[in-house]
Structure 1
Amino acid sequence: MTSQQKNLIKATVPILKEHGVLLTTYFYKRMFEHNPELKHVFNMGNQHNGKQQTALAMAVLAYAEHIENPEVLLPVLDHIGQKHTSLSVRPEHYHIVGKHLLASIAEVLGEAATPELLKAWEVAYFQLAELMSGHESSLYTQQVQKEGGWSGWRPFLVKNKVVESTEITSFYLYPADQGQVADFIPGQYLSVRLFLPELNLLQPRQYSISSAPNGQYYRISVKREPGIQETPEGMISNHLHQNIQIGDLIDVSAPAGNFFLKDHPGPVVFISGGVGQTPLLSMLENLIKSGQRQGTWIHGCRDKSVHAFKENVEKWAAEYPLIQKHIFYNTIGSEIDVENHYEGWVDLTKLGKDIHTDQTAYYVCGPAPFIEKQYKDLVNIGVNKNSIFFEEFGPQTLQLS
């Protein structure tokens, strides 16, 4: 890119800050009208609730702000690239997206979209597309080079279905071809793809692998979204709970994601809200198998009835002295052991200084407001921001620094 083109891109930053979501909303509407086949690739639930439009607007803004040195965005680009490989996004998709994004810029900005500005954004977009495609190509290569690895979609057999709470059910997935299961890093996720007759679409969703690597199967634990069965964001979870039975086949992508248990020697604190515990369960189980590091499990949910994996964590805490647990319920019953159960939202100030050392790493997962609160509370008690790792389910919209 020329210096003049970079200046033109940077000049659009104020517009993107004010009207970015309007632009991306228009873009998606335009793209799906002209290329409806992409509805099978994109999560239409995130289109319906607006999260995808917001996430894309934030990504475009960040790229414009850092056009002089886009390499600083590599952690964000890796997060997006991991998601893309789990959805089998390929280089040809970037050309379709680019065509409609540039057309949307021209149509939304009108006379302000000069030929020079559009050319600058064309160069900028395809520079980014080349960067992303190259990174994703290396991710695909890593996937297929693993023992038992693959890329794209692979049929898996549901061999077991276990109700974990009134909201969460686990599905045990085995390769239908009876081949090997690729290893993964605790904390990573799978994409699953189902056909929804209600939408006449194939629809993908990401679910964390909720068990440690075992070489035989993957386990996903899915929260059934109540009251939104008629909206795209609730259809897959309800379809899994209601219609998928033992013996059924579902399409599965290779494990992906960059939220995983890091290789560091110090203690680990896991902080989860609701179904956000699923990637942390995989991490905790793997931590226990290593038998070398102290772990603290902090989990919050509404009440005992929705508390999935309660017995598992209690068993681990009883059997392994290095594991401690603290449970928060919005509504607490008289039968609850008050020594390690608390009423209300997860409140780290109730746990004292035991969870904070300079060597401790913190992993946080749950709804966006939950993550934001725990992140701020950790910083307030003196935790280094570089020691806090978090995963936001769905498109990335949180900006914590």
Structure 2
Amino acid sequence: MLSEQATTTVRATLPTIGAAIGDITDLFYKKLFAAHPELLRDLFNRGNQADGSQKRALAGSIAAFATALVEHPQVRPDALIARIAHKHASLGVTRDQYVVVHTHLFAAIVDVLGEAVTPDVARAWDEVYWLMANALIAVEARLYAEAGAVDGSTWRDWEVVRRSRETADVVTFRLRPVDGADAPRFRPGQYVSVQVELADGARQIRQYSLSAAPAETLSITVKRVHGTPDGEVSNHLHAHVREGSRLTLSAPYGDVPSIDADAPLLLISAGIGCTPMVAMLDHLVSVDHAGPVTVLHADRSPAEHALRARHTRLAAELPSAAAHFWYESPDAEGTTEARAGRMDLTDIAVPTAARAYLCGPLPFMRAIRARLIERGVPAADIHYEVFGPDLWLGGE
């Protein structure tokens, strides 16, 4: 891991770097996109750049990695590396791009910290960067090999064979490979990247969870994002993609553990976070899963609960499953078993040795994770998926 000299230097300078990391990453992206505007146009999420979430995620991951190196020098933070590597592989990131990032990141560090960046400090943080970068490169190479892709060539053309409206703002697209090859296998809970060409010529990329079990086709369920600005890709898909349209997809990725064991499962979601949970339920039904499964979901209303009929039906098809839904604005139709308000685990049985899977807004997952730990679920058995930059890894 870090050399002894670098460890001493990083430990001493981590407070200074940490305090300035926001300014460093902000300047880094300005330098990077000035030199390589195609990266903002065709690789980075422009919405996440505009709202600052990608900058915060990068800052958090660098600080978290460096902190782990000095506090636990014999243990590499593999969980952090794996999650970032899966996201990078879904975007087609290549090893040469790490050199580009290094150039502009260290230029930003020097510009922000000035004379504080002595040769010793520069060498120490260079070690940190390349330890992280080389670890990511190695994992990404393995992921590309498993997907049968040459470094970064993860993209294939797919045809939309069915478009289904789930709610006013949610649509499911069922897709098959244009080349007639078999659809790739994947672990329920994984996602694909979707690349679309927008009106200004930019080829923007977004990740969407697969919303059905592995089959001859893949299904993604897309919620139209309203905001300032509106979601570029989700609104494009809703407005322009129909049956017969073609989409460019990555191979499936996502650092989600297998759910094949018969251990008790907790599948907990909110909003559009139900999509990977429905895929998991679909898979569990297909393999005749016999273990106990508790399905918990929170939403604004039954009308906004995407895939509600499938969510309910699949849970009912499992022999040892129970489903509980919460709606902030419940209505009378078909929701007699639902609860009003926000999710509350007070009277929900949490089985011993349960494994929990969470997906939804970050504040929701933080709160539920805390309740599960209070109820005796080990942190190592609580898995989560974040839509967008993973601010949780950085401690936000």
- In the superposition, the TM-score normalised over structure 2's length comes to 0.93
Give 1:394's aligned amino acid: G
- What secondary structure is seen at the aligned counterpart in 2 of 1:120? helix
Distance 2:111 2:316 in 1: 62
**Which residue of the partner structure matches residue 234 of structure 2?**
237
Count of residue pairs brought into register by the alignment:
388
CA deviation map 1:264-283 (0-9, x unaligned): 32221111000001111111
Give 2:295's aligned amino acid: W
**Which residue of the partner structure matches residue 296 of structure 1?**
294
Contact 2:20/2:112 (<8 A) preserved = no
- What secondary structure is seen at the aligned counterpart in 1 of 2:103? helix
The 10-residue stretch of structure 1 (317-326 or 273-282) with the greater mean CA deviation from structure 2: 317-326
- Correspondence 1:235-384 to 2 at 5 A: 235-291=232-288, 292-338=290-336, 340-351=337-348, 354=349, 356-384=350-378
Distance 2:33 2:102 in 1: 13
- Correspondence 1:1-400 to 2 at 5 A: 2-39=3-40, 40-68=42-70, 69=73, 71-144=75-148, 151-198=153-200, 200-214=201-215, 216-228=216-228, 231=229, 234-291=231-288, 292-338=290-336, 340-351=337-348, 354=349, 356-398=350-392
CA deviation map 1:352-371 (0-9, x unaligned): xx3x1212211111000110
Distance 1:372 1:319 in 2: 30
Distance 1:185 1:70 in 2: 31
Distance 2:332 2:104 in 1: 58
The Cα shift of 1:16 comes to 3.1
Contact 1:9/1:67 (<8 A) preserved = no
- What secondary structure is seen at the aligned counterpart in 2 of 1:98? helix
1:316 to 1:5, Cα distance in 2 relative to 1, 3 A? closer
Cα RMSD between the aligned structures?
Answer: 2.0
Give 2:34's aligned amino acid: E
- What secondary structure is seen at the aligned counterpart in 2 of 1:12? helix
Distance 1:266 1:391 in 2: 20
The Cα shift of 1:381 comes to 2.2
Give 2:166's aligned amino acid: E
1:302 to 1:65, Cα distance in 2 relative to 1, 3 A? same
1:70 to 1:30, Cα distance in 2 relative to 1, 3 A? farther
Distance 1:299 1:63 in 2: 33
The 10-residue stretch of structure 1 (324-333 or 6-15) with the greater mean CA deviation from structure 2: 6-15
Q: Percent identity?
A: 34
Contact 2:278/2:310 (<8 A) preserved = no
The Cα shift of 1:25 comes to 1.2
Give 1:79's aligned amino acid: R
The Cα shift of 1:5 comes to 2.4
Give 1:26's aligned amino acid: L
- What secondary structure is seen at the aligned counterpart in 2 of 1:197? coil
- What secondary structure is seen at the aligned counterpart in 1 of 2:60? helix
Distance 2:163 2:61 in 1: 38
The 10-residue stretch of structure 1 (312-321 or 83-92) with the greater mean CA deviation from structure 2: 312-321
Contact 2:69/2:75 (<8 A) preserved = no
The 10-residue stretch of structure 1 (173-182 or 96-105) with the greater mean CA deviation from structure 2: 173-182
Contact 2:212/2:278 (<8 A) preserved = yes
- What secondary structure is seen at the aligned counterpart in 2 of 1:144? coil
The Cα shift of 1:151 comes to 4.1
1:337 to 1:60, Cα distance in 2 relative to 1, 3 A? closer
Distance 1:12 1:197 in 2: 46
Give 1:60's aligned amino acid: I
Distance 2:222 2:137 in 1: 31
1:124 to 1:361, Cα distance in 2 relative to 1, 3 A? closer
Distance 2:314 2:155 in 1: 35
1:4 to 1:386, Cα distance in 2 relative to 1, 3 A? closer
The Cα shift of 1:87 comes to 0.5
Distance 1:328 1:247 in 2: 37
Distance 2:3 2:367 in 1: 42
- In the superposition, the TM-score normalised over structure 1's length comes to 0.92
Contact 1:295/1:322 (<8 A) preserved = yes
Distance 2:123 2:379 in 1: 39
The Cα shift of 1:26 comes to 1.1
Structure 2, gaps ≥5 residues long: none
Contact 1:284/1:295 (<8 A) preserved = no
Structure 1, gaps ≥5 residues long: none
